[in-house]
Amino acid sequence: MDQTEATPVVPLEAGAGPENPPCPACGEPLFGWIGRKDGLEGPVRRCESCGLAIVGAPGDAAAALHELDSLRREDMVQIENRGSFACALGGAGWSGLQPGRRHLFTVEAVRRLVAQRDQVVKSARWRPLAGLAGTWQTLLNSVTFGRNVALGALRDLPAVPAAQPWQRRIDALASVVLAIPALVIAIPVELLGGLSRRGAVIAIRLELF
């Protein structure tokens, strides 16, 4: 189904307008993806061409590059992959939708963005353990009231706790009881994702032209 929706029957430019501002990475129009949610600054739009998603009002390429640079770890940039199996499976429950995030990257979006400052993607490597953690959390998000509750507790991932105390108690219990079943599903999902270049977490090395 998704495949059919993603196939444009008219040039994507024809969809450009106030509701569909241009993608800061590739210039194609952005389309609505996820409505406003707790912990997010606004509704989320995505680019059907390069895969970049943007929370709230889209900015320019400089803003996207600034956020990309904030994800730098030593000489690599580590992204939660908007083009991952985990994201396709999780949708609004994807663990990459974190408070404070404005730009949700794919490798292709990074490639387009850094080209604007004369850089190339030298390598893009799947990070299996980080990816597995993200995919596992994405699965748990489908059964909890809050989001990223387990990784928020275990690894300091920005989390959105449920509003009510009783919901938070259920979330804590569900995260413990379902930890192993979620892992059993997450392992093949993330393995298939990683092997088809759609892993949940990708470390990217950039170089000047």
Short-list 32, 44, 58, 47, CA closest to 94: 44
Q: In whole angstroms, how close is the CB of 144 to Zn ion at the nearest point?
A: 31
Strand partners, 73: 76
Q: In whole angstroms, how close is the CB of 50 to Zn ion at the nearest point?
A: 3
Q: What is the 8-class DSSP label of residue 91?
A: G
Q: Are 115 and 108 in contact (CB under 8 A)?
A: no
Kindly list the distances between the CA atom of residue 70 and the CA atoms of 74, 81, 100, in Å, as whole numbers in the listed order. 11, 15, 12
Q: In whole angstroms, how close is the CB of 67 to Zn ion at the nearest point?
A: 15
SS3 at position 47: strand
Q: Are 132 and 186 in contact (CB under 8 A)?
A: yes
Q: In whole angstroms, how close is the CB of 140 to Zn ion at the nearest point?
A: 30
Contact residues toward Zn ion (CB under 5 A) are 23, 25-26, 47, 49-50, 52
Residue (62 or 173) nearer to Zn ion, CB? 62
Residue (50 or 139) nearer to Zn ion, CB? 50
Residue (23 or 178) nearer to Zn ion, CB? 23
Residue (22 or 43) nearer to Zn ion, CB? 22
Residue (49 or 148) nearer to Zn ion, CB? 49
Residue (112 or 127) nearer to Zn ion, CB? 112
Q: In whole angstroms, how close is the CB of 165 to Zn ion at the nearest point?
A: 41
Give the whole-angstrom CA distance, residue 2 versus residue 146: 26
Q: In whole angstroms, how close is the CB of 54 to Zn ion at the nearest point?
A: 10
Q: Are 73 and 201 in contact (CB under 8 A)?
A: no
Residue 173 burial (CB count, 10 A): 11
- In the chain, the DSSP E strands lie at 30-34, 44-47, 53-55, 72-73, 76-80, 103-104, 119-126, 201-208
